[in-house]
Amino acid sequence: MGPDDDYAHSFGYFGSGAALMAPQGVVYNEKYLSIGDETLIGPNVCLTAGIGPGQPMLASPTVTIGRKCIIGRGSHIIGHWSIVLGDEIQTGPYVYITDQNHGYEDPDSAVGWQQPNEAAVSIGSGSWLGADVVILPGTQLGRNTVVAAGAVVRGTFPDHVVLGGVPAKILRHYDREHGWVTGAPND
């Protein structure tokens, strides 16, 4: 599906040259979704705002994907509060990005019925997320960040770093004087 298709007009924004590849995954609450110019959403990608169709959201857009992004097949971007992907971001397949998670504060109540926790997610322009990466609520990634396949990310990270692991940590960072250096800045 492209920007000239009738369905594209149901989105908050569906950019010039953007496309949702077939077969499409679950997509709902389109009016809260913004897809940037020349962005390609791979097959079987789930792209949603809220927990079900027709749910009113507090922010519009709830999910923003910048221009010239490529979202790998089978990925899920599930927004409830605010997810912002900058420009020229690429993901491998099966990446999961969400700004909401189940609460588990009450040990006597089923986790699935407890109040969820929400925190905005932001991924800096030029970043690359490898296959099977999980981005949890509250994650803030700087520009040109690399996230290794299988990493589970939560927290705030600066520009020009390589993250990996569960939980993700900085494996390398770019130093203008020394180039790519092992470890986090100031280690």
Catalogue the active-site residues. 102
Is the CB of residue 124 less than 8 Å from the CB of residue 163? no
Cα-trace Rg, the chain: 17
Provide the token pair at 184: 């986090």
Three-state SS for 8? Answer: helix
Provide the token pair at 90: 């690429």
Is the CB of residue 119 less than 8 Å from the CB of residue 99? yes
CB atoms within 10 A of CB 169: 15
Cα 27-30-32 angle, rounded to 5 deg: 125
